[in-house]
Chains A and B, each alone.
Chain A
Amino acid sequence: MSRIISDIKSYGKMYMRSKVGAFFTFVFPILLILMFGAIYSTGGDQKVTLPVQNLDDGPHSKLFLSILNSTGAVNIEEIAPTENLTAYFKDNSLTMALVIPRGFSDQVNYSINTSLSQSANVILYGDPTQTTVSIAQAVIGATAVAFNDVLLNSTEIVYSEVQPPPATESFKFLDFFLPGVIGITVMTNCLFAMTSICAEYRQRGFFKLLATTRLKKHEWLISKYLWYSLILLASLLTTVAVAKLAFKIEANLTPMALLMIPVGAFVFTSMGMLIGVAVKDPESGVALANAVGFPMMFLSGSFFPLDVMPGFLKAIAAVLPLTYFNNGLRDTMVSGNTTAAMLNAGILLAVGLVFFALSSKLMSWKEK
């Protein structure tokens, strides 16, 4: 145990003095929180700018635009009917524009008079990769429904609205986002650091040097795991404190959330060491860690919900440890479901044990 403590003490000094490690442990998650907090803290107050070219100029197109404007979800920017839309798109680098075609009002009248035999259309041109286009599409759809109600003098019977899950009514976007940030911090610190440490130690002869002492491989691995557990717990507390102070988040820092940190550190340090077994120099270490870490970052639900992913990506996400770490943290911090969090922690522990055993077995400090 004294050798492990000695290694932790010295590694801790080296880690904090290198500044890179301290940046990714403390500054990086706080930057993410502040950045995303600033973007989303205003909630639904932000409007999407929607350029509109009204080629009709009849009463119905004016009514449609009036209803669209009253939703409060869009800022309408008029495009003169004389503009060539293709050229206008190009010249103004637009991502979308709504066009009300010529004869729209006549078509609406015709449709009413012929008992809706042929509908009148508005057209939204837009880049499908932009989320603002999806938002505009939803708003225009809702506007069309309201427009029909007014024309037909009918009443909407079914309403739908989105509310946070029960017991989290006061939660903001950042409360749901925070577990993902913590997940990324734990994963990047442990996985990337351990892979590059293994490469550096091998290239600079530190493993050989350590092999001449009484320190055992598994003791070195345990020392690194304990260090990252401690430092990431400190990171978690700092990040949550900043998020609470800056954005008054309500997500709970539960005992289970604190317990998830050493569990995550265990699985990701072991995984980093296992990758480190295969790398010979820091360059290949960084490349390999990126190849594993970045897809995991995006496929594990840290930034994007898993539900919107295609089936094969969901299948990949299901075997990524970060998915279970994020889920576990959300279970305990957002949903308050300790049992589900424990199940995720159990899966991570099992995976971590396999990684740890493999890296202990395969890692060699000797030359061949």
Chain B
Amino acid sequence: MSSVGAETMVGENVIEVTDLSKRYPPDIKAVDGVTFSIRGGQVFSMLGPNGAGKTTTVEILEGLRNPTAGEAKIFDVDVTKDYSALRDRVGILPQNFEPFDELKPWEALEYWAGLYDRKMSRKDIDRLLELVNLTERKNSISKKLSGGEKRKLGFALSLINEPELLFLDEPTTGLDPKARRDIWHMIQDIRKKGTTVFLTTHYLDEAERLSDDVAIMHKGKIITRGGPQELITKYGKMNVIVLVGAGSVALQEIRRRGIDATEEEGDVLVPVKDPAEMRVIFQKLSGIEFKVRDMYTRRQTLEDVFLELVGAKMEEGVLKE
């Protein structure tokens, strides 16, 4: 084992999904005729609330579920027909990953390597443990690891076969902010090495930060697809200058000067339709006397895109109507 993560066919399609459906009795459409393809070397995020069909889609691609209809190919291999041909090229971190309680991290890696017919030296194992920041915990029994450490171990296991394509199903759900950031860095490192990453998540900031390509899934369908900035530009409204605590008196004065503004919980919001107008608006505002506690510019995010498309906010995977 020389390196972690093998380069994929950068720029070529590594996954091609056509009219994929999965139904459960009596007539639940978990995945409803989705079609998409993913280019090699990218981080592709499938974003959506719990129950959107993300895990079902990814588990079909992992060969863990059979679709009701449609076709799914990885590296041009039909996943429903011959998954064994893909096992050496695909790495998987399942949702809610749990390690074997009584094995130490280095033993778990040695075990997993054996299940892929690979011999790993202690040096190789140490290198992989270092990559996921588990060096200091390599001799602890897995059941004594924290939630974040367990997930990191799962991440290391998914890399054992040096995959060209890595499936990460909600890898940061339930983790504390530091552990989340650690996992993000690992994903970025893997991507730099050329591995294609298929990430499912319900964290909008995670998708925005890590992805080259995002598909928003809702009720079994992909409702939009594109790069994070592309989606923000397409569906986001505009940037907003927020005058914290300015209040209604300031609002009237700002409007009197011909600047479009609204009030929200005591703050005055000034929309900026074109980024080029930002300077002009700031100049106008500086000529008005009003009290303000703070002032900042709110950038549009995927959260705004999600709200626009789905009509609800999402917190921990749950839609808040």
- Co-complex (A, B): yes
Residues in A lying within 8 Å of B, measured CB to CB = 2-3, 5-7, 9-10, 13-14, 17-18, 204-206, 208-215, 365-368
Give min CB distance, B57 to chain A, whole Å. Answer: 13
Cross-chain contact B114 with A13 (CB below 8 angstroms):
no
Measured between beta carbons, the chain B residues less than 8 angstroms from A366 are 63-66
Cross-chain contact A212 with B62 (CB below 8 angstroms):
yes
CA distance A213 to B100 in the complex (A): 15
Contact of B114 among A7, A211, A212 (CB under 8 A): A7
Give min CB distance, B78 to chain A, whole Å. Answer: 16
CA distance A9 to B62 in the complex (A): 27
CA distance A5 to B88 in the complex (A): 20
Measured between beta carbons, the chain A residues less than 8 angstroms from B84 are 214
**In B88-126, which residues have CB < 8 Å from any A CB?**
88, 90, 92, 94, 96-98, 100-103, 107-108, 110-117
CA distance A208 to B107 in the complex (A): 20
Q: How many residues of B contact A (CB 8 A)?
A: 30
Give min CB distance, A274 to chain B, whole Å. Answer: 23
CA distance A211 to B59 in the complex (A): 11
With A13-B103, A214-B116 known, 13 other A-B pairs at CB within 8 A are A3-B115, A6-B110, A6-B113, A9-B111, A10-B107, A10-B110, A10-B111, A14-B100, A17-B102, A18-B101, A209-B94, A214-B115, A367-B59
Give min CB distance, A110 to chain B, whole Å. Answer: 79
| Nearest-neighbor residue (CB-CB) of A212 within chain B | B92
Measured between beta carbons, the chain A residues less than 8 angstroms from B64 are 208, 211-212, 365-367
Measured between beta carbons, the chain A residues less than 8 angstroms from B100 are 10, 14, 206
Cross-chain contact B87 with A213 (CB below 8 angstroms):
yes
Measured between beta carbons, the chain B residues less than 8 angstroms from A211 are 63-64
Interface centre among B59, B88, B117 (most CB of A within 10 A): B117
CA distance A357 to B87 in the complex (A): 25
Cross-chain contact B98 with A205 (CB below 8 angstroms):
yes
Cross-chain contact B94 with A208 (CB below 8 angstroms):
yes
B244 CB-CB contact with A under 8 Å? no
Measured between beta carbons, the chain A residues less than 8 angstroms from B107 are 10, 13
B141 CB-CB contact with A under 8 Å? yes
Q: Which 7 A-B pairs have the closest CB atoms?
A: A6-B114, A213-B115, A10-B111, A14-B102, A17-B102, A212-B92, A215-B115
Give min CB distance, B79 to chain A, whole Å. Answer: 12
Cross-chain contact B115 with A6 (CB below 8 angstroms):
yes
Measured between beta carbons, the chain A residues less than 8 angstroms from B62 are 212
CA distance A210 to B141 in the complex (A): 20
Measured between beta carbons, the chain A residues less than 8 angstroms from B112 are 213
CA distance A346 to B193 in the complex (A): 57
CA distance A51 to B107 in the complex (A): 65
Give min CB distance, B31 to chain A, whole Å. Answer: 13
Cross-chain contact B103 with A10 (CB below 8 angstroms):
yes
Give min CB distance, A209 to chain B, whole Å. Answer: 6
Measured between beta carbons, the chain B residues less than 8 angstroms from A18 are 101-102
Measured between beta carbons, the chain A residues less than 8 angstroms from B65 are 366-368
Interface centre among A3, A17, A212, A368 (most CB of B within 10 A): A212
Cross-chain contact A213 with B102 (CB below 8 angstroms):
no
CA distance A209 to B102 in the complex (A): 16
Measured between beta carbons, the chain A residues less than 8 angstroms from B117 are 2-3, 214
6 contacts between A and B (CB under 8 A): A3-B114, A14-B100, A204-B98, A209-B94, A213-B112, A214-B117
| Nearest-neighbor residue (CB-CB) of B101 within chain A | A14
CA distance A215 to B116 in the complex (A): 7
Cross-chain contact B96 with A205 (CB below 8 angstroms):
yes
Measured between beta carbons, the chain B residues less than 8 angstroms from A10 are 100, 103, 107-108, 110-111, 114
Measured between beta carbons, the chain B residues less than 8 angstroms from A210 are 115
CA distance A365 to B62 in the complex (A): 12
| Nearest-neighbor residue (CB-CB) of A213 within chain B | B115
**Contact string against A for B residues 113-143, beta-carbon threshold 8 Å, 1 for contact and 0 otherwise:** 1111100000000000000000000000100
Give min CB distance, B94 to chain A, whole Å. Answer: 6
Cross-chain contact A205 with B97 (CB below 8 angstroms):
yes
CA distance A205 to B150 in the complex (A): 14
Measured between beta carbons, the chain A residues less than 8 angstroms from B94 are 205, 208-209, 212
Measured between beta carbons, the chain B residues less than 8 angstroms from A206 are 98, 100
CA distance A204 to B97 in the complex (A): 8
Cross-chain contact A17 with B87 (CB below 8 angstroms):
no
CA distance A3 to B114 in the complex (A): 6
From known contacts A209-B97, A367-B64, A367-B65, infer whether A6 and B111 are also in contact, taking CB-CB under 8 Å: yes
**In B187-228, which residues have CB < 8 Å from any A CB?**
none
Give min CB distance, B252 to chain A, whole Å. Answer: 59
Contact of A212 among B87, B96, B113 (CB under 8 A): B87
CA distance A17 to B144 in the complex (A): 13
